[in-house]
Amino acid sequence: MKGFIITVAIVLPVVPASFARGVPAPPARVAPASSARVAPASSARVAPASLPREQSLLARVTVYWANGGSGSDRDTRHHKCATGLRLQTGHCAVDPKKIPYGSRVVFPDGTTLAAVDTGTAVKNRKAARQAGRTVYERNAVVVDRFFENKRQAISWASRNPPFMTVRIVPPNQRAVAQSSQQPPPRAIVVVKNAPVVNKTQAVSNQLIASRSSISRNPFNKLGR
């Protein structure tokens, strides 16, 4: 009986030499987290907030006072205002959302007031909404001008219109406005080698010219 020879092929997986020796393979190279380029927060460019500029506004000007009759609250009678300053002549109350504290309110006659106070009637623009005849007037801001007593306040209010255009100079532009009002320095011109004028010769020339212009008229009288 003939024997059969069966050949069996066994395929073995290829194992790296390092595993064959029992040595683990080196880990894959991973870039450390510190090597990643991350822009710091401080380097981000943030556009600066827009600063308020000088502007002209239509204002309904009202008055309030510290002494004399009604029309003033307890804080006003004690010369207290919203910013903590002592109220005095030259101060006014405004809406700080529209006219920042510390701004200068310049009236058409050149009078300048400092915005240091506020109030409910100023914020809700009650006087402008009630006295305005047009939409433009009803939308006007309210500027409440402070006086020491009622007589001064009523006297000023009776001599001035209720609505007027005022100029608002923000606090950040006060220095710029003051520098622009200063006159420019005068230029000094130095003339070198100026000719020397002989005063004696100049006087004699004037006498000769005056004598030559004198003539006699038909009536034998001196004249020019």
Q: State the DSSP H helix or E strand holding residue 151, giving kind and residue range, or none if neither.
A: helix 150-159
Q: Can you give the pLDDT at residue 187?
A: 55
Q: What residue spans of 23-149 are helical by DSSP H?
A: 74-77, 120-123, 126-131, 135-138
Please, is 7 exposed, middle or buried when counting C-beta atoms within 10 Å of its C-beta (0-12, 13-18, 19+)? exposed
- The answer to whether residues 68 and 75 touch, using CB atoms and an 8 Å cutoff, is no
Would the pLDDT of 151 be above 90? yes
Q: Two tokens at 171?
A: 């606090």
Residue 73's pLDDT band, with cuts at 50, 70 and 90, is: confident
Task: Quick: pLDDT tens for 181-215.
Answer: 555 556 555 555 555 555 555 545 554 444 444 44
For residues 168 and 56, the answer to whether their CB atoms sit within 8 Å is: yes
Interacting residues of 76 by C-beta distance below 8 A, sequence separation 6+ = 64, 65, 66, 87, 146
Looking at residue 50, what is its pLDDT? Answer: 39
How many whole angstroms from its chain centre is CA 114? 14
Beta bridge partners of 163: 60
Band (pLDDT 50/70/90 cuts) for residue 53 is: confident
**191: which DSSP letter?**
-
Q: Which residue has the tokens 């622009």?
A: 180
Strand 141-149 relative to strand 55-67: parallel, antiparallel, unpaired?
parallel
Intra-chain end-to-end CA distance of the chain, in Å: 175
Q: Has this prediction a pTM greater than 0.75?
A: no
Return the pLDDT at 202.
53
Q: What is the pLDDT of residue 77?
A: 92
**13-28: per-residue pLDDT in tens?**
554 544 444 444 455 5
Domains in the chain: ranges and CATH: 55-178 (2.40.40)
